[in-house]
A and B are shown apart, each in its own frame.
Chain A
Amino acid sequence: MSLGKRVSNWFAERLGLDDLPFFKTPDYMFHANEWLGALVAASFIYTVISGLILLLYYNAAAGYQSTEAIINQVPYGSVVLYSHLYGSYAMIILAYVHMFRNYFVGAYKKPRELLWILGVLMLVLTLGASFLGYSLIGDALAVSAVDVGAGIVTSIPQLSFLIPIIFGNYDTGDYTRVLALHIILVALIGLLFVFHFFLAEHYGMMPSRKVKPKAPAVYTKEEWSKFNPWWPRNFVYMSSLVFMTWGFILAIPNALAYLNGLPQYFNPFMNPKPAPPPNSPAAAHITTYPPWFFLFLYKIADFTSDVVVFLMIGVIIPLIYLLIVPFLDRTDELHPLRRKVFSGIGILMITYLIQTSLWGDLAPGVQVSVKDQVIAYLVPAIIVALGLTFLNPMEQKVRPSSAISPMTSILFVVISLLFSGAVVQLIDYPSPLTFSIAMFLGSLFFLGARSMGSLVLNKNVSRSVPNRPVSEVNTSVMISNEKKKRLAEVIMSILFVLVVVIVAQMWTIPPTGYASNLFGVDLGLVFLMLGESISLYHYVVYKKPTEKEE
């Protein structure tokens, strides 16, 4: 036995890696949509780590100045700060995706009700912690956001006792309490996460509807003990996802930091930099907006002047609905089209959330008449209701084994266009900036091309699967897999070379100043490539010729 093997065995034995009590994963579950929770957790962990680094420098008594000092003086401070911000953005978006995905597959049903409720509470805490974190910057936007938030609370006399509890001596520019609460909420998220995680491990991931069409959808102990143990396949797959999440969190905001002069309505989503301080003359010229994840609330505030009604529509009713949905939808049906009412509500919640957020972004603070409100919100409701009435579940869904969704192809087209634009820019104005943008988009293009390409190239194989006798299928699939695996090996070697080149470049980036954000872009790219090479490794080593859902 080689030394490496002996060392890894030593650890495997000591850590009990072979019989961890974690859920064993069936082959068909190694796809990103079964691992959305892991993505949320990955961004949570990233945000906590970067936040602790920021805590070393942040001074709550001088919020804006210390934020500026972190950006301008601390080595790579802006890299950490911007990625901390976008780490929380990623966590919010992924938490929504995770929640709605589980909503539509009916994962809140027996026996996972508590798991669902804990998740909803964690979403609330995440939004709260993000709001407080956004306030800590102390710029004009943060102050206005806090003023709006505090204004909402004060306008209900019974609730105004909460103001000192939440903001402390905010009026005197003291963020000590805001910082403390920010950390406390994050700690609570961490605590709930432990419960959420172990409950999830206990019940296991939600099986495919083909396997368990009715609630309670859980694998019996006997069934799941046959699946892939956590170590090593689960671990390998998980680390590829974690690193890719971190890669995006690092690369995107640090690349965005080089964009300037965006139209106002892009600012809430695409500007990681702080606004001017509230007492500066420049603050008078900026349009204030809340953080994008509260844009929907900002717009609802334009609908009514009654704060209680506003809170009911914007916060309390949706929240209570999400908390009690496991007890409203008590059937054992899991198919979304067999739970049409709940699927409809889910679709409408997503539609309204996105619609209202964009509305708040484009027309902030513009009063909306009741008639316009009714039109804006009734139309999607009618479309959804009609659509659901005429849609019925297909009994035998014939799905190509690995189709690519229209969304993915559109995204791929957009990325290809961006990539070609970036290459033209690079040729016209060669600079580290254009180079890194082209590199970044190029790697996205490359990832896309890989997943699209494999599908296009093997089109006839997957199409002809149902017609062929089983044994023959296996050999052809095996051969095509073998080709793909060879390709994967070549890609991994290329990635290795690229990583080494980028890492060498990273050592030359100055720790502060204009160029320092390139470090974040590069580190993000390196993490993406690390994640991708682990994912390819997983593909080559663990992927079985056929991974069925039975």
Chain B
Amino acid sequence: MPLKVRIGNNEVRVLRSSDLYFVQKLLKAMRNPKTKFNSREFTTKGEEYLFNYVSKNVGGVDEGRRNFLKGIVIGVAAATVVGIIPGLRVLVPPVEQASGFPKSLLLDSSGNPLKASLIPVNSPIITLYEYPLTGEPNFLLNLGDKDGNPISISPIDVVVPQTGKTYKFPGGVGPHNSIVSYSAICQHLGCTPPYIHFYPPGNVSPSQLTAPEPDTLTAQALLAAKQANVPALIHCDCHGSTYDPYKGAAVLTGPTQRPLPTILLEYDSSTDYLYATGALGVATYPEGSDGIPSQDPTKDLDTSQYGSSVGDKTQVQANTNPFS
């Protein structure tokens, strides 16, 4: 209750209860020997000393009020911490585990769906797309005979020389059943294009024996092609591994012990679009140093070091022509 004094007709407020409480507290502090008010200093320094003294010993704000405010500040700070906690999820790396192979539409370099009938036959240009994870390149090949007419690629059993086991290569897709796709990472030591690439029929010739890297064919590869009557090859220049693109990228010559994994393609004849739907054979060669790839292609999805799932679209890039 404020203390009031009546002067004439006006009521003048003298002191409020809080002021009274404050004065009482101040006097108590001034009498307290620990915090004695130094009147000598007050006369020399004036009101500044008084204010400092008051704010130091009585605090201007009484203890209860100060604690209440402190409580609020601590409350707000605690709430802030609680708010930051879900943000700490930023430290948990997103799990790059594709639970299965995605069905990815192949796009051309300008982002439109790729038309299967427009893929050139026996193109020497290295044509690649990433699947099932980013960083995992695969060849996209439209195979033909010596004269450049598309050939229907039939299903065949592919042997894995390392284990002797076989798996069923499903054959080509597309309007002429001539389109196939294989991993573009060599199963020997993991070389990638342009070291490993497709040699069209015109380039499977003795003149490639002396061609500069990465276009050199080994004599062994030429001989194997001749014996197997294969017009075109996939050959890795790093160490000379050769694969047969017509027969599921089976091993033609070493040093590789495993065929290139096949990427399963699905052809939609109504739209002429191609979809990648899965992989077959052994797992993609890991780029890291942890050795021999697994023979189960799905293993690749949770242990791969390449990147994230490409999702429902993947872009086909045809940039490099190694023979030019």
Contacts and interface: CB of A to CB of B under 8 A. Distances in A.
Contacts of A527: 80
Interface string B40-54: 000000010001000
B27 interface: no
Given A281-B111, A496-B75, A526 B83 contact: yes
B34 interface: no
B134 to A, nearest CB: 7
A161 interface: no
Contacts of B75: 496
A523 B61 contact: no
A74 B307 contact: no
A110 interface: no
A280 B108 CA distance: 12
Contacts of B83: 499, 502-503, 506, 522-523, 526
Contacts of B51: 544-546
A519 B91 CA distance: 15
A65 B307 contact: yes
Interface string A510-550: 01100000010011001101100110010011101110000
A75 B80 contact: no
B79 A77 contact: no
A495 interface: yes
A519 B89 CA distance: 12
B2 to A, nearest CB: 12
A499 B79 contact: yes
A503 B90 contact: no
A80 B59 contact: no
Interface in B265-307: 307
A500 interface: yes
Given A79-B87, A503-B82, A73 B61 contact: no
A80 B90 contact: yes
A20 interface: no
B79 A69 contact: no
B87 A76 contact: yes
A106 to B, nearest CB: 27
Nearest to A506: B83
A529 B90 contact: no
Contacts of A79: 87, 90
Interface string B58-97: 0111000110111011011101101110110111111000
A7 interface: no
A506 B90 contact: no
Contacts of B91: 53, 56
Given A65-B307, A492-B69, A523-B84, A77 B90 contact: yes
Given A496-B72, A537-B73, A541-B61, 15 more contacts: A56-B91, A65-B134, A75-B92, A75-B94, A496-B75, A499-B76, A503-B80, A506-B87, A511-B89, A511-B90, A523-B87, A526-B79, A526-B83, A537-B69, A541-B69
15 contacts: A53-B90, A69-B308, A73-B308, A76-B87, A496-B76, A496-B79, A500-B79, A503-B82, A503-B83, A512-B94, A519-B87, A526-B83, A537-B72, A537-B73, A541-B66
Q: Nearest 9 CB-CB pairs, A to B?
A: A75-B89, A503-B83, A73-B94, A499-B79, A76-B90, A503-B79, A506-B83, A533-B76, A492-B72
